[in-house]
Structure 1
């Protein structure tokens, strides 16, 4: 990579690293795994920086890489045999109005199947359209809609099991 390209890469990753890590955390629900996913994603970004830098939406490109790294990890036999979740770290809970609700929501989201969780995170945390989410997940818009609906239902059931009611 040329010096100017490397400088732009370092600037971008330095500025967006907290956001990349947060998206990874919302997908996997574990800060340690989120760090691993983030590391793999920024490594892939480095190896494909010229293509990424030329993209119309660099954040969208990176978000897609993060989601695909997460989903790829979930497909391996190793990930299905080993539970890597640590106890939830309560970073920034003091700033949250209701830390108990926040923790309950994170625990409930962790119970949602990975593809449904990815659809929910992309649609509601990253605020992507159905089409943008479909592109990031590599599926059709109809699949995004069904995965989002199923994910919402799974999340509702998990919250109901905790006797948590969330106002819309």
Structure 2
């Protein structure tokens, strides 16, 4: 079976950018296995559209947008899996934290954000995209990106017990 030039380009792209895209998918889903499924679905869509993507420099944006869209679609179809309870769970005591523990707390706090907030934070700070790039990727205005990121950061700070930085 002969591999075409397009298939070879796609394989090279996945080999090169796969780990970074998987990290972005993990930040969007909050779970490693869901991230793998999300990335697989996004790469399938990308492969099917490969010959229509003229600007190869925009591939990361195309895949990220596909991941955000797929994740939102899956989230909307999901049934409510959490139910209110009369009893609050015990809050575990945590000794002084290492870097890994802080990272885990941040991951948990990030996973509890609403989908749009999580996507905005991941794209802005993990993928280091500018506010206009995030706006374009999510299909929202720059002002909405700013307010969404601001509210998400406030929620993260509150959940992690971090005070807000001083106002300029």
TM-score (norm 1): 0.80
1:136 corresponds to 2:112: no
Aligned to 1:73: 74
Aligned to 2:93: none
Count of aligned residue pairs for this structure pair: 149
Question: How far apart in 2 are the matches of 1:52 and 1:155?
Answer: 37
- How far is 1:69 from its partner? 1.6
Gaps of 5+ in 2: 83-97
Gaps of 5+ in 1: 84-96
- How far is 1:9 from its partner? 0.7
Runs of 4+ in 1 over 3 A off after TM superposition: 164-168
TM-score (norm 2): 0.80
- Which residues in structure 2 correspond to 1:15-164 (within 5 Å)? 15-76=16-77, 79-82=78-81, 98-160=99-161
- How far is 1:51 from its partner? 2.5
Question: How far apart in 2 are the matches of 1:166 and 1:152?
Answer: 9
Aligned to 2:87: none
Question: How far apart in 1 are the matches of 2:79 and 2:114?
Answer: 12
SS in 2 for 1:81: coil
Report the RMSD for the aligned CA atoms in angstroms. Answer: 2.2
Task: Report the structure number with the largest CA radius of gyration.
Answer: 2
Q: Is the 8 A contact 2:154 2:164 kept in 1?
A: no
